Structure 1
Amino acid sequence: MAGLQPATPKIVVFGFRDYAVDAGRNKRTAVCKVCGSKISDSRATTSNFTRHFKQHPERYEEYLRAKLASNQLQSPQMSPFIESRAVPSRTANTPRQTAITDAILTDLIISCNMPLSAVENVDFHRFMSVVDGEYSPVGLGTITARLELLVAEGRAKLQYQLAEVENVSVTVDIWSDRRMGGYLGITAHWMRIGAETIALQSHLLACSRFKGPHTICEEFEQICDQYNIKNIDHILYDYAANMKRALTTCFPGLVNADEDDHLDDADIWNDLAVEEQERVDRTLSTRSQCRLQGFAHTLQLVVGDALQETNVISPALANASRISALLHTSPSFGEELEMDFGQRGAPASVLPPWNVTLRQLKALVTFDYQKLCEVLEVGGHKESKFTEREWSQVKELVEILTPFGEATDLTQGEKVVTIGAVIPCVLSLNHHLEKQKKEAHYLGSLIHGLHRSLHRRFRGIFVNVRMSEPSDGGPLPFSDTVYLKAAVLDPSFGTMWLDHDVLVDGKLKEEVSAFVKDLILQDAAEVEPIPAEQGVDDRDPAEGEEPGLFSSYRKRQKRTAPSCPRAQLDRYLDICDGQNSLLFWAMNRQTLPSLFKVAMRALAVPASSAEIERVFSHGGVVMRPHRARLGNDTLSNLIFCKCNTI
């Protein structure tokens, strides 16, 4: 260490040796003390050294602790900047001091989105002197180091949990912050199986900054290696074109009330050239051959396709948009509406999710038509009045699209099984549209457009249930058999969808039923054999047991307990009747052991990318307009901590 220059970065001093600077090439190199790898970086950064050292989690955590202790020793005294107050008597490492500092970080900075720099604010110091007169204020360097340590501990816990999991699925998406910086987000999904309970786990692995499209693959590989994820069951990752179209799907004639409310940037996908998209696809395929599309985004595309095909509803929707704008820009109109109807009105029209506008229309049609026209005319907004035909069109549109909104909400739940609902939702929507064709008076063209798009974008499902003929082309969308297995193994649905919404004759239904059962039994055959003590007891009733008052009950139960996977599947189909999926399998894991493992693998797959979208929503809240100077690493760390409760 004696030969190192004073300007040597702390991480190099701690974890590397043979440090050398090449001034001519503006480079510096060092050799990792742990693995002996030679790492190079520019003279102005340490990102390559840090990125490599993170691959040794235990040593990296030691480095963060040493860095934190060093920052606490070097933090300047804050008392000269505060009005006269007693010099704190508590040292930096006392339990009370540490607990308060940790609470400031977790409860105020992470949970309440308080800026990190607030810890150096004079008013905050004054407030803390009231809370605890002996607390010693910490500097920005200390709180940043504690944040890094918290992230390292969280990642270590995730690594430990993932090491014990057999089946993991991930969602992958990209996002841009307000400074148009690109971030790659990855969430992992698996089942945590306890002694008596089962819980669906969804955690953020990373939300990492990437500097260009070419770095997406490198970041993905690095994150997988960091958590030692070798094989992924399923990857949920939409094609760029689908993502862009889904994010911009809206009703024609409706305007965006507030662009800042929408934090997803569809244009970021334009930065991915075709060759880059193909490269990303190849990288993902090396980790998993099973790549799924997001159900909610695809359903948005179905609605978008139909809305683009028909213009008959546009005048009515334009009126609805004007009324929504009036509610949020004209106080007098809002007061008149509240006086007549007892409510302020519909939510603002926001561009990205079409189902937000659907909620607006549902609120609008609850008004009395005649009273609404009177309020508009008295308020001087005659141009926004609906004709009777337009009012009927809006009501019919709400009736047609309400099931689509329900399906979207059902498959975007948090900490609940969602993939089992995909096939029941698609088939139920198809059945709904078939009925609407006979009952609609004004929007027949829209219904036919929805029906065509539903069959095209979910063609794999309709082929698998024998409602469409297979094609000779490549893989069909939503043709993965995990959807069939999950639909049957989710006791909320079982085979009810097969009976009610598969619109084919009885013989074809039997073929579909046999096909799905064979898929499940093939997976069950690969499960480890059932231990003898958990299997069926075929002993004679009088052998090995003394008779008791209720001994015959126990023996009868033992005889009827299913042993082979086929018997377990028959038993499952007899007892599933709309129960909660996780509770059902927690209660029946011992009686259906082979089927249990198949169900846990299938039901852990998410139906949509809702979890990663929630991550990006948190990122948008953290990166508020007045926090534009927030560093990339700090933003990633704050998002990681905010989204993970481990």
Structure 2
Amino acid sequence: MKKAFTSCFPGQLDEDDDLDDSDIWNDLSVEEQEMFDNYLSAKTQTRLQCFAHPLQLVIGDGIKDTKVVNAALAKASRLSSLLHTSTSFKEKFEEFGQRGIPASVTTRWNSTLRQLKSVVSCDQLKLTRMLEDGGHKETVFTAREWNQIKELVDVLQPFGEATDLSQGEKLVTISAVVPCILSLNHHLENHKESVRYLGGLIRSLQKSLQRQFEGIFVNVRITDEQNDVATLPFSDPLYLKAALLDPSFGTMWLTHDVLAPENIKEAVSAMIKNLILKEDCKPTPTTTDEDEQMPVAEPESQSGLFSAYCKKQKRFMFQSPNSVEPVFRHL
């Protein structure tokens, strides 16, 4: 066993010390250094932004800028607290066949959505009578507030589904980013004319959505292109390529949720396909002839479960762009 300081500081070696390789501290040769640099440049990884956090910021911006629903939200929170603090009221509430109402957590906006869905699932007349008999008239929902909650649940339901999807741990979710964002934008666009009380919420949500995910809207040409597209959030082409290559989505998001003329959609589709083909044509570092001539050690015989299994090493040959084009016929 060698001394630690001997290995760490080769300039202070004693005469009696002997290294296995005396040239271990020498620099790489020019050829090896170039091969190493090419390998690192080809394998460089980039950090992608979090999808769930900006989505939660969009909801926060929308609710914060829309004060018309504050009274309804306050009553829903008060009703939930009443069920958790008053045993007698909870018993009466359960006598009507109603379930409990979950509490709202500040750090998780979808807890507010679950709370509102539980409220609107109740019978409004029975709930009003129960609150009045229990001496909680200040918690009774007016007809306007009840309709506001219904509209709010209808508007935020797709955002809740997108949030649940972004929290998946066993599934790849990068391919769902672009379809989710464009579908949410389409959902808000359709509700602009149908809502009665929450027009301001719709506009605030759409504005925040297009700001937090601006790179996606620029890449699909829904908004005007800027000079510094690479600096925009979610502008990495990887999101577009992943969405197109995912069989669950294909080009359906491009057909239904890109609110642009058909010629724009065709141009975006061609652009994404060219990006995929360009990525496929990139040369990857290969082993040298000397490495290929090195003998491969035979696997040692082992006894035990699955001991007869062996990994097959396959050499993936370079594919020309023509061999990849048939993939897009099914998209």
- Give me the TM-score of the superposition, normalised by structure 1: 0.40
Partner of 2:262: 506
Is 1:489 paired with 2:230? no
| Contact 2:281–2:320, Cα closer than 8 Å, also in 1 | no
Find the residue that maps to 2:121 and give its secondary structure.
coil
Partner of 1:448: 203
2:235 corresponds to which of 479, 482, 491: 479
| Contact 2:104–2:111, Cα closer than 8 Å, also in 1 | yes
Structure 1 residues 367 and 525 mapped into 2: Cα distance closer, same or farther (>3 Å)?
Answer: same
Structure 1 residues 36 and 316 mapped into 2: Cα distance closer, same or farther (>3 Å)?
Answer: same
Structure 1 residues 568 and 36 mapped into 2: Cα distance closer, same or farther (>3 Å)?
Answer: closer
Q: How many residues align?
A: 268
Is 1:293 paired with 2:49? yes
Whole-angstrom CA distance in 2 between matches of 1:346 and 1:573? 48
Partner of 2:136: 381
Find the residue that maps to 2:192 and give its secondary structure.
helix
Please give the per-residue CA displacement for 1:152-173, whole angstroms capped at 9, x wherever unaligned.
xxxxxxxxxxxxxxxxxxxxxx
Please give the per-residue CA displacement for 1:45-70, whole angstroms capped at 9, x wherever unaligned.
xxxxxxxxxxxxxxxxxxxxxxxxxx
Partner of 1:359: 114
What letter corresponds to residue 316 of structure 1 in structure 2?
Answer: A
Find the residue that maps to 1:415 and give its secondary structure.
coil
What letter corresponds to residue 351 of structure 1 in structure 2?
Answer: T
Find the residue that maps to 1:439 and give its secondary structure.
coil
| Contact 1:347–1:360, Cα closer than 8 Å, also in 2 | yes
Whole-angstrom CA distance in 2 between matches of 1:565 and 1:519? 11
Please give the per-residue CA displacement for 1:463-502, whole angstroms capped at 9, x wherever unaligned.
1001011223461111000000000011100111001011
Partner of 1:425: 180
Partner of 2:146: 391
Whole-angstrom CA distance in 1 between matches of 2:280 and 2:201? 43
Deviation of residue 37 (structure 1)? 4.9
Partner of 2:89: 333
Task: Return the structure number with greater relative CO, CA threshold 8 A, min gap 6.
Answer: 2
The CA RMSD over aligned residues, in Å, is: 2.3
Please give the per-residue CA displacement for 1:164-194, whole angstroms capped at 9, x wherever unaligned.
xxxxxxxxxxxxxxxxxxxxxxxxxxxxxxx
The equivalences for 1:142-541 within 5 A come to 288=45, 290-340=46-96, 342-473=97-228, 475-526=231-282
Structure 1 residues 406 and 231 mapped into 2: Cα distance closer, same or farther (>3 Å)?
Answer: farther
Whole-angstrom CA distance in 1 between matches of 2:174 and 2:168? 10
What letter corresponds to residue 411 of structure 1 in structure 2?
Answer: S
| Contact 1:420–1:486, Cα closer than 8 Å, also in 2 | yes
What letter corresponds to residue 250 of structure 2 in structure 1?
Answer: G
Whole-angstrom CA distance in 1 between matches of 2:42 and 2:112? 37
Please give the per-residue CA displacement for 1:517-541, whole angstroms capped at 9, x wherever unaligned.
0000001112669xxxxxxxxxxxx
Structure 1 residues 512 and 384 mapped into 2: Cα distance closer, same or farther (>3 Å)?
Answer: same
Whole-angstrom CA distance in 2 between matches of 1:527 and 1:415? 31
What letter corresponds to residue 134 of structure 2 in structure 1?
Answer: G
Find the residue that maps to 2:180 and give its secondary structure.
helix
Deviation of residue 459 (structure 1)? 0.8
What letter corresponds to residue 355 of structure 1 in structure 2?
Answer: N
| Contact 1:335–1:344, Cα closer than 8 Å, also in 2 | no
Deviation of residue 422 (structure 1)? 0.4
Whole-angstrom CA distance in 1 between matches of 2:89 and 2:42? 55
What letter corresponds to residue 51 of structure 2 in structure 1?
Answer: F
Unaligned runs of at least 5 residues, structure 2 = 11-39, 286-318
Deviation of residue 565 (structure 1)? 3.2
Please give the per-residue CA displacement for 1:184-223, whole angstroms capped at 9, x wherever unaligned.
xxxxxxxxxxxxxxxxxxxxxxxxxxxxxxxxxxxxxxxx
Unaligned runs of at least 5 residues, structure 1 = 1-14, 18-30, 39-229, 234-286, 530-562, 577-646
Deviation of residue 309 (structure 1)? 1.3
Structure 1 residues 16 and 357 mapped into 2: Cα distance closer, same or farther (>3 Å)?
Answer: farther
Please give the per-residue CA displacement for 1:412-468, whole angstroms capped at 9, x wherever unaligned.
211211010000000000000001101100000000000111111111101100101
Structure 1 residues 333 and 16 mapped into 2: Cα distance closer, same or farther (>3 Å)?
Answer: farther
Structure 1 residues 337 and 510 mapped into 2: Cα distance closer, same or farther (>3 Å)?
Answer: same
Please give the per-residue CA displacement for 1:116-135, whole angstroms capped at 9, x wherever unaligned.
xxxxxxxxxxxxxxxxxxxx
Whole-angstrom CA distance in 2 between matches of 1:468 and 1:313? 30
What letter corresponds to residue 36 of structure 1 in structure 2?
Answer: C
Runs of 4+ aligned residues of structure 1 deviating over 6 Å after TM superposition are 230-233
The equivalences for 1:491-640 within 5 A come to 491-526=247-282, 564-569=320-325, 571-575=326-330
Deviation of residue 337 (structure 1)? 1.0
Please give the per-residue CA displacement for 1:365-408, whole angstroms capped at 9, x wherever unaligned.
11111111111111211111110000000110000001001011
Deviation of residue 364 (structure 1)? 1.2
Whole-angstrom CA distance in 2 between matches of 1:484 and 1:400? 26
Deviation of residue 411 (structure 1)? 1.9
Whole-angstrom CA distance in 2 between matches of 1:326 and 1:423? 41
| Contact 2:98–2:122, Cα closer than 8 Å, also in 1 | no
